[in-house]
Amino acid sequence: MEKIRTAAVQMAMRCQVEDNIYQAECLVRRAAAEGANIILLPELFETKYFCQERNYNYYKLARTLDENMAVRRFRDVARSLGVVIPVSFFERDGNNTYNTVAVIDADGTVLGIYRKTHIPDDQFYQEKFYFTPGDTGFKVWKTRFGTIGVGICWDQWFPECARSMALMGADILLYPTAIGSEPILDVDSMPHWRRVMQGHAAANITPVVAANRVGKEMVFPCAENNQQSSSLTFYGSSFITDASGELLSSADRTAETVIYGDIDLEAVRELRMSWGLFRDRRPGMYGAITRQHG
């Protein structure tokens, strides 16, 4: 048996970067004390969700991988606790800015980065204003506790992302997230949000971990945002599935908390082989996936 414990951190964001890093570290340390080996934090946890508004001042938040405060801090934390921590951050690389995850192994080494492939542009989720579409392609990393693949928020709605990482050998799929109320659509997207990722787990026979933020975040009118006034309520509901998509644990919509899921990687690999889903694939028949459609 090759058993590991995964954890998803659910938290509300403070106004100051230092305060968010401190709170995230407290929750990571709680997870490690409970035996977690792989600990997932939410998307862009260093700040409130600045993509709710268009404001050129927020470009100043972007940092290189080496400069970013959270990456630097959690390299030390990962090393001291012996845990794997994917860290979501706003990356600057030359003249481009990206929504990026740095994957930190249990010895504090940055194994590499993944840049968000699918960039949303919706009312108050205005990420195309800030982020260049990722150029890394989908990736997986061999960590001390298995091979992980990481997609970022909007990526989680695309089955191609999950399948690509599974084909590359991911034992677990992780999705740091910032999602909440829909400002235009009269819908509660939370159940749909969960089900799409539960489907990824079931279709690929690969456990899924999703970590979301909570709390109401307000935007107040100012000259820099063209007098916008708005709010988003992030609905938490972080969860962890087994390889069939069944929920192992889930959080509520409001609490700052840590949830856990125990996974036997050897058993999952055997189950994946026994189902034959990858054996029976017909890639030559899937041309419609890569063709442009109106």
Q: Catalytic residue positions?
A: 43, 116, 153
Question: What is the rounded CA–CA span in Å between residue 64 and residue 189?
Answer: 33
Q: Kindly report the CA angle at 70 between 64 and 71, in degrees rounded to 5? A: 60
Question: What is the rounded CA–CA span in Å between residue 71 and residue 199?
Answer: 31
Amino acid present at 242:
D
Quickly tell me which residue has 């992980």 as its tokens: 148
Q: Which residues are paired to 30 by β-bridges?
A: none
Question: What is the rounded CA–CA span in Å between residue 271 and residue 263?
Answer: 13
Question: What is the rounded CA–CA span in Å between residue 194 and residue 192?
Answer: 5
Q: Which residues are paired to 259 by β-bridges?
A: 8
Quote the tokens at residue 76.
Answer: 């030390």
DSSP secondary structure string for all residues of 42-103: PTTTTSS-GGGS--GGGGGG-B-TTT-HHHHHHHHHHHHHT-BEEEEEEEEETTEEEEEEEE
The conformation of residue 142, written as its DSSP 8-state character, comes to: E
